[in-house]
Structure 1
């Protein structure tokens, strides 16, 4: 069932050919990457009919309970994106009728971003639907299995620390 990318299979084959140890660990890493990619693709496919990306969906969710809206820079900070990125996301959401920008009457430099009625409706409906879908990914796991998996993932996270000499290799895309 695990569908590894060709580049990962090629790396595994080369590592085996060279007699390197740890190919089982490499394969596990590639399986985790494949799962993450599959989840990303499924998420994108679920949001695409609504003309939304994950980034746009996050903005709708963040604005959902804020009738007075937020300034774009505050929204960028909460979403964890740059100001340049937020501008593009907001432009798309505004073009599709999900939000409006409102100028401050006293200070024309200030802008607040607020959801339209259409944006409010889609934010609520999609949040509920999306939350259920995300939860369903691990629905067959009991509490103990979720705790074990979470612990194992935390252990792997500790191994992700990137030594300076390896950061250029990873930046070049070898482990993607």
Structure 2
């Protein structure tokens, strides 16, 4: 993550704006504030998940299984839902299987494929963790009222649509 403290002082940004007329101060300040906040949120989530011996990725996979209608998913379904590569999913699943939180079992309709099932130990961990997780999530968002939360979701959605500007050549 980016720590913008080294170049986001108002004086530094104003100097850059003089050299680069395309620099929109309010856009850069907003982006830097967002990046600083996302860094803080990621660090807080990392600490939270570490209490349970998990990473954000492992938690995400366990939750996907926990709420899956049939209690199972294929590795490709995980990858598609998480928008990551199958290799990334394989690495996470390897760790979860070593920790006996998930099981790889033959797919019921295609013996060439595998299904991932939430093991009893994984179900117990998630069941134990969720009340604390939901409490902490609510506490993190407590400074926003209901209207602000809805507005925040809309603003984040608008921001997400602009991310292509950074990806395009």
Aligning the two structures, in what range does the TM-score lie when normalised by the shorter sequence?
0.7 to 0.9
Superposed CA deviations along residues 58-91 of structure 1, whole A, max 9, x for unmatched, are 1101111445522211222223221111100100
Give the counterpart of 1:97 among 88, 91, 100: 100
* Residues in 1 aligned to 2:106 and 2:156: alpha-carbon distance in whole angstroms: 45
Q: Normalising by the residue count of structure 2, what TM-score does the alignment of the two structures yield?
A: 0.77
1:123 maps to what in 2?
126
The reply to whether residue 9 of structure 1 matches residue 11 of structure 2 is no
Unmatched runs of 5 consecutive residues or more in structure 1: 169-176
2:82 maps to what in 1?
79
2:59 maps to what in 1?
57
* Residues in 2 aligned to 1:106 and 1:84: alpha-carbon distance in whole angstroms: 23
Q: Normalising by the residue count of structure 1, what TM-score does the alignment of the two structures yield?
A: 0.75
Superposed CA deviations along residues 129-154 of structure 1, whole A, max 9, x for unmatched, are 22332222221322233344444445
* Residues in 2 aligned to 1:71 and 1:127: alpha-carbon distance in whole angstroms: 24
Unmatched runs of 5 consecutive residues or more in structure 2: none
Superposed CA deviations along residues 10-36 of structure 1, whole A, max 9, x for unmatched, are 7x5443224536434422221111111
Superposed CA deviations along residues 86-129 of structure 1, whole A, max 9, x for unmatched, are 10010000111111111358854221111111100112232332
* Residues in 1 aligned to 2:25 and 2:72: alpha-carbon distance in whole angstroms: 50
1:35-54 counterparts in 2 under 5 A? 35-54=37-56
